[in-house]
Every structure is written in structure tokens, then in C-alpha cells.
């Protein structure tokens, strides 16, 4: 998989989050992928757990997303900073996050780790 293809996959992820396209997001993941969002929480393993995470988190949040810096590619992984604005518990907020994806041989995400914590969460946008 080329560096350009990895960058494009990362961009598609942000575009699909921005569009609220959960099925499109799920299509980017390998069937046995692992998601840790945020890092330090229990890992979600496999399509069913990952789908539940996105449907519960993004499905009701009116999320908007945009890249805030360049996508960086190193080896079989890529990282990107982006901002997600959403409704959390009925209140507007924004999260500044860095996602790191590892790629499976077929070009889908084998793993995703989201680096963010309370100091990256802005209440009231």
C-alpha cells in the first residue's frame, strides 16, 4: 500500500465521520480490527463491537469533523490530528484528537488508537 493510499484512507475516515456515514466508516475497518478510543479504555475487538461504538457515539451526536494538520505516514501506520464537534449528553463540545491507524494487508484499518483526554475536550464549542 502506497503512502498516498494510506493518506487517502485517513482522509476518507474524517470525511465519513463528518458526513455521519457510519456504514462508510465501518467499511474502512478489517473484520477483526481493534479500536481503542480513547487510548487507555478497554479495546473494542471485531466488527460488532466497533459498529456498536460508532452507532452509539456518532449516530446520535450530529458530529462534524475536519483535519487540523497533515496526515503522517510511517511504515504500516498513519497518524492525523483532527477536530470533532458533537453533542455529548445533549451538550455541544469539541474534541481535539490524534488518531493512529495500522493497516491490514488489504488496505483496511487493522487497528485505531485515538489519543485524547479531558484536557482535549472543549465544552460549549
Is-catalytic flag, 119? no
Interatomic CA distance for residues 72 and 8, integer angstroms: 11
Q: Spot the catalytic one: 29, 37, 54, 99.
A: 37
Closest C-alpha to 58, from 120, 13, 112? 13
Residue 47's H or E segment, with its range, is helix 47-57
Residue boundaries of the structural domains of the chain: 3-123
Distances (CA, A) of 58 to 23, 55, 75: 11, 6, 30
Is-catalytic flag, 37? yes
Architecture of domain 3-123: Roll (3.10)
Is residue 125 predicted with pLDDT exceeding 70?
A: no
Interatomic CA distance for residues 123 and 1, integer angstroms: 39
Query: Could you report the per-residue pLDDT of 30-78, keeping only the tens digit for each?
Result: 999 999 999 999 999 999 999 999 998 887 678 899 999 999 999 999 9
Amino acid at each position: 500500500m502506497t503512502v498516498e493510499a494510506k493518506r487517502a484512507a485517513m482522509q476518507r475516515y474524517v470525511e465519513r465521520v463528518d458526513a455521519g456515514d457510519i456504514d462508510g466508516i465501518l467499511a474502512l475497518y478489517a473484520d477483526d480490527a481493534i479500536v481503542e478510543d480513547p487510548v487507555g479504555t478497554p479495546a473494542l475487538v471485531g466488527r460488532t463491537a466497533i459498529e456498536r461504538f460508532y452507532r452509539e457515539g456518532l449516530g446520535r451526536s450530529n458530529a462534524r469533523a475536519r483535519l487540523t494538520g497533515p496526515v503522517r505516514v510511517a511504515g504500516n501506520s498513519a497518524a492525523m490530528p483532527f477536530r470533532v464537534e458533537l453533542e455529548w449528553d445533549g451538550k455541544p463540545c469539541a474534541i481535539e484528537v490524534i488518531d493512529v491507524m495500522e493497516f491490514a494487508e488489504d488496505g483496511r484499518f487493522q487497528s485505531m488508537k485515538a489519543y485524547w483526554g479531558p484536557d482535549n475536550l472543549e465544552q460549549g464549542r
